[in-house]
Structure 1
Amino acid sequence: MSETPVESMSFEAALAELEQVVTKLDRGEVPLEESIALYNRGAALKTHCEAKLKDAEEKVQKITLAGGKAAGTEDFNA
């Protein structure tokens, strides 16, 4: 696993590492202490990814046409 600070990671890097964490935890082949550390790292990665997605969603909603008229934004539910 990466020791890169979560807050400095791109969305893609954080998501890739989160997938690795989930895979390791699903296998159940790591000792308890490592599982706890992985879980904590995974929780931080999940929170970071959610924040990045929310920020991206807000940026998309702010896209406007000339004259300041909204470009027809809608709620996005993925």
Structure 2
Amino acid sequence: MAENTHADVKKLTFETAIEELESIVKRLEDGKVPLEESVAIYERGEALKRRCDELLRQAEARVDKITTDSNGKAIGTEPLDVQ
């Protein structure tokens, strides 16, 4: 795995970040990574997790909730309550 800075994590797409995070989890679960490298990739994984969380929150904020009338017919949209 190439050395990456935490700053470059902010440029990753959700798909790229989650793929790298899954790779890190697999490597750590395998238990064949030296301790020092384990700590470094764990820290990278934490940064990737924060990026994924941030991107998911941004996506949720853009999702509209469809409102319907009593017949189930869509009558409009309103912002999604993300709380």
Shared fold (TM-score, shorter chain, > 0.5): yes
AA in 2 matched with 1:18: L
Alignment of 1:27-66 (within 5 A): 27-61=30-64
Higher relative contact order (CA 8 A, sep 6+): 1
Instruction: Give the CA deviation at 1:71.
Output: 1.3
Q: Which runs of 5+ in 1 are unaligned?
A: 64-68
Pick from 11, 14, 18: which aligns with 1:11?
Answer: 14
The whole-number CA distance in structure 2 between the counterparts of 1:35 and 1:71 is 47
Pick from 59, 66, 71: which aligns with 2:77?
Answer: 71
- Give the number of aligned pairs: 71
Larger Rg: 2
Give me the CA root mean square deviation.
2.6
Q: Which runs of 5+ in 2 are unaligned?
A: 67-74
Q: Percent identity?
A: 46
The whole-number CA distance in structure 1 between the counterparts of 2:21 and 2:35 is 18
Q: Deviations over 1:5-59 (max 9, x none)?
A: 1000000000000000000000010000000001000000000000000000001
Higher helix share: 1
With normalisation by structure 2, the TM-score equals 0.73
Higher strand share: 2
After superposing on structure 2, the runs of 4+ consecutive aligned residues of structure 1 that deviate more than 4 Å are 72-76
